[in-house]
Amino acid sequence: MEAKLKRLKEILAKVKDLQYAQAVLGWDQQTYMPAGGAADRAEQLATLAELSHSLFTSQEVGALLEDIAPLANDLESDHEDACLLRVTRRQFMKATRLSDEWVAEHARVTAVAQSVWEKARELNDFELFRPHLERIIELKRQYSSFFLPYDHVYDPLLDDFEPGLKTSEVQAIFDTLRREQVDLIQAIAARPQVDSSFLHKKFPEQEQWDFGVEVITRLGYDWKRGRQDRSAHPFTSSLGFSDVRITTRFHKNYLPMALFGTIHECGHALYDQGLAASLARTPLADGASMAVHESQSRMWENLVGRSREFWVFFYPRLQEIFPAQLGNVDLDTFYCGINRVEPSLIRVEADEATYNLHIMLRLELEIALMEGSLEVRHLPEAWNDRMEAYLGLVPASDAQGVLQDIHWSFGGLGYFPTYALGNLIASQLWEQIQSDVPDLDEHIRRGEFAPLLGWLRENIHQHGAKYEPQILVQKATGSKIDPQPYLRYLRKKFSEIYAL
């Protein structure tokens, strides 16, 4: 039995190596690859995807999982090998529904689509991207068909990012959030608006970069196991167990874009850098789910990075770097300014009170595309209609609207709901952390983030993908995912800022 388990781990390590190789090529494509390399890169990624899938779904892996199954019954459910067998079996059962040809085609199509999307957004030309997105939707419908019967055509896509979660469950959570958040936004709209004009001055890029590096270094980002680069859309990518890279982007006349984008991606990276070493080169060397991953990035970005305590420590340094822009702006004004609530066109720049509405919009469009009730050619119009209904805004261009996100170009349908779910988990974890570390606020005011990171390392990071998200959250907080802590957080924070 032990020999068979060892052999299974050897194969899984090779599969992980192939996936890391794909990540290297994907990272390069979004950072340094010349535009003319897109077609070649598509074939390279397709080859690696096919090899990885073929190795993982081989008869040998299936036989090993079958032979080793009794071992899992003899182990405690929390035992690492028991978790490895459980997660590997689940992934194997899903992967064997797909053909090597489909996997290769999906990798090929999305690799090209990402390059086309970037060009289409630059040119504000949705028609350039449309045929590629149509092919992606076709492939995603085909993907869902591999998992019949299902409750909803969107379920198989959602399950890839949130194991076990159903479309109906997400819709029910969003229905609750939508009512509460719309009421909050309306209450805020009736109050005098806070000033944020000082955030829209000229902030030289190099100084922004340097300050961002200072911040995430103090948060705990390990530069010996990572690096930062620029990209059209910020992302985090693990190119190896000890190679976790982030990217950011800049706006010379708007400080928050790079600042909070950098902190957000650092949150993802801290999770990946905190995995237990024993999980290396296994399917457990990953997050529990994308919502849990987003809970980490959103926690560091918002609950930490947009807190008053955080800026008690960092604001004097920011004023020192940008004296002309911020020298005469006091801390309270700055704190209110970075938390200004105002409907906006761009998701990644949205405030906390309106952010989830951006996610709900995208979820509804993805479901409609998968159901066939919306055709890709009508997507820009549908996007604009929902944007006006939810946020009272209409994009002046497709670059500000339907082309603003990279996710559809890499086939990430099912991904967007995880952002909103991540907000919920972040607030739920935060309440528990404040209970377990009662002087947390004081630590943050002193620029001491080790107590927070230590709690996350112990309760979230080290476990990797050992547990499904609901189980992990329950282990950490005592209850499953609950929207109420998030709603309490929003009410308290914005009632203070806007004197509600």
Strands, E assignment, 223-361: 228-230, 236-240, 243-248
Residues 6+ apart with CB under 8 A from 358: 347, 350, 390, 391
Interacting residues of 349 by C-beta distance below 8 A, sequence separation 6+: 254, 256, 257
**Any idea which residues carry the catalytic annotation?**
265
For residues 293 and 422, the answer to whether their CB atoms sit within 8 Å is yes
Q: Which tokens hold the place of 229?
A: 């680069």
Determine the Cα angle at 401 with ends 27 and 30, to 5°: 10
Beta carbons of 82 and 76 less than 8 angstroms apart: yes
What distance in Å separates the CA atoms of residue 312 and residue 322, rounded to the nearest whole number? 16
CA-only gyration radius of the chain, Å: 23
Measured between alpha carbons, how far is residue 209 from residues 206, 304, 312, 322 in Å? 5, 19, 21, 13
Q: Tokens 């020298």 sit at which residue? A: 327
Checking 89-92 for CB contacts under 8 A at 24+ apart, the result is: 89/65, 90/163, 91/56, 91/283, 92/56, 92/57, 92/61, 92/62, 92/65
Answer for the pair 237, 22: CB distance below 8 angstroms, yes or no.
no
Q: Judge contact between 345 and 387, C-beta under 8 A.
A: yes
Contacts of 345 (CB under 8 A, 6+ apart): 387, 391, 393, 395, 400, 401, 404
Q: What does the alpha-carbon distance between residue 125 and residue 119 come to, in Å, rounded to a whole number?
A: 8
